[in-house]
Homo-oligomer: A and B are copies of this chain.
């Protein structure tokens, strides 16, 4: 059977234009993280399946994980997400670390998904987490990080919004106000989690199937109609949810003083699944209706270390995938063109005698000037050299031929201005470097 030339289903071959684009995303992520004091970490590609089970339950394992038994009979999986690895690592070191612990990573992850727009089997994910900050200080910082990242790509509050909810608010409404038992709370969480993916009719049908009391249904209707922080705060006041009221009020106040309130919107349907979040939850959405997927999701969690028998510790984090981010930036024309490489100078010989001089000059420019120098490995005619230099993204082009060999000079041409200079290689190497660096 012939070997396939295609990449494995749901994965990407990143040729230079795509890899340069991805590097642009990664560089901007690293810069955003560094600007806020987040430190880099990384972990193994494989973890024991038991770790993912402890964090996320069986569903993920059953449906989405790349798991197998290794040659040493360990049941392992390719990481589908970074948080369990992070939990293991923080568990190992948190006692000797000064709080808050701020960490970020950009791992490649795999999930067995049905490939579709914005969702692949392998992607890279920017993960930021803060451990041990007081309530709402960590939350606001993590929101700032996400906003800083997107705005540093040029995005504005016209293009994205952060939809926010609070898990304790939801749980309090479901359990205390609506007086549902834990089974119905669980079922209602699942329904609300799907609210954005189904029609209003389907949503109502699912809710009706729960056979809520009239009173519970009224409270739920009220809750689902809340569409701003002001309305939420009023609702929390009316229903005497004091602690949540204090937290939401603090969030709104901090956001307003920091000028990030225009990015934030309360949304009662954001609950982020059933897994480990325990406080604020959020998802970033593209405001363009053509690209309605969440770009990013995150929230506050405090029980992650308990899976290892560790302490309850406040933490907030988010994950943002390179595929959804790239789709978002492309939709809004915020992705620069990375079709061509960039380099400082392209050097070629006009005849084979000059080839060694090309290599020597290139080596001197790299060593002496730190320049990016692309050579051509065989002689080319002048006419052919310019398109070659263009393909290599060179800002300058130099040709060495018979004349140049005779008098030890080189002609250097600026590709943009077409200005040409003739310089002596031996005596004027510093001038050549200066010319190109300008």
A88 touches B (CB below 8 Å): yes
Decide if A258 touches B360 in the complex (CB within 8 Å).
Answer: yes
Give the distance to chain B from A95, nearest Cβ to Cβ, in Å. Answer: 12
A60 touches B (CB below 8 Å): no
Q: Specify how many copies of this chain sit in the oligomer.
A: 2
Give the distance to chain B from A344, nearest Cβ to Cβ, in Å. Answer: 9
A36 touches B (CB below 8 Å): yes
Main SS of chain A's interface residues?
mixed
A276 touches B (CB below 8 Å): no
Interface string of A1-14 (1 = CB under 8 A from B): 11111011101111
Q: How far is the CA of A178 from the CA of B148 in the complex (A)?
A: 69
Q: How far is the CA of A213 from the CA of B397 in the complex (A)?
A: 58
Instruction: List residues of chain B with CB within 8 A of the CB of A363.
Output: 144, 258-259
Interface string of A22-44 (1 = CB under 8 A from B): 11000000000011110111111
Instruction: List residues of chain B with CB within 8 A of the CB of A226.
Output: none
Give the distance to chain B from A33, nearest Cβ to Cβ, in Å. Answer: 9
Decide if B257 touches A360 in the complex (CB within 8 Å).
Answer: yes
A424 touches B (CB below 8 Å): no
Return the contact of A78 from the options B45, B309, B371 (Cβ within 8 A): B45
Instruction: List residues of chain B with CB within 8 A of the CB of A110.
Output: 45-46
Decide if A71 touches B112 in the complex (CB within 8 Å).
Answer: yes
A218 touches B (CB below 8 Å): no
Give the distance to chain B from A364, nearest Cβ to Cβ, in Å. Answer: 10
Q: Who on chain B is nearest to A93 by CB?
A: B15
Interface string of A128-153 (1 = CB under 8 A from B): 00000110011011001000100000
Q: How far is the CA of A36 from the CA of B105 in the complex (A)?
A: 29
Instruction: List residues of chain B with CB within 8 A of the CB of A258.
Output: 356, 359-360, 363
Give the distance to chain B from A32, nearest Cβ to Cβ, in Å. Answer: 9
A54 touches B (CB below 8 Å): yes
Return the contact of A39 from the options B36, B70, B341 (Cβ within 8 A): B341
Q: Which of A375-392 contact B (CB under 8 A)?
A: 375, 377-378, 388, 391-392
Return the contact of A91 from the options B5, B39, B254 (Cβ within 8 A): B5
- Known A-B contacts A2-B309, A8-B47, A13-B43; the reply to A36 vs B257 at CB < 8 A is no
Give the distance to chain B from A284, nearest Cβ to Cβ, in Å. Answer: 19
A16 touches B (CB below 8 Å): yes
Instruction: List residues of chain B with CB within 8 A of the CB of A47.
Output: 8
Decide if B308 touches A5 in the complex (CB within 8 Å).
Answer: yes
Q: Who on chain B is nearest to A101 by CB?
A: B16
Decide if A366 touches B122 in the complex (CB within 8 Å).
Answer: no
Decide if B39 touches A377 in the complex (CB within 8 Å).
Answer: no
- Known A-B contacts A133-B377, A144-B363, A377-B100; the reply to A19 vs B41 at CB < 8 A is yes
Q: Who on chain B is nearest to A120 by CB?
A: B44
Instruction: List residues of chain B with CB within 8 A of the CB of A44.
Output: 7-8, 11-13, 122
Closest 8 pairs between A and B when the two form their complex, measured CB to CB:
A37-B374, A11-B44, A68-B68, A16-B39, A137-B377, A14-B42, A133-B377, A19-B40
Given A3-B51, A14-B41, output 12 extra A-B contacts at Cβ < 8 Å.
A4-B48, A12-B43, A13-B88, A16-B41, A35-B373, A37-B341, A37-B343, A45-B110, A66-B70, A141-B375, A257-B356, A258-B356
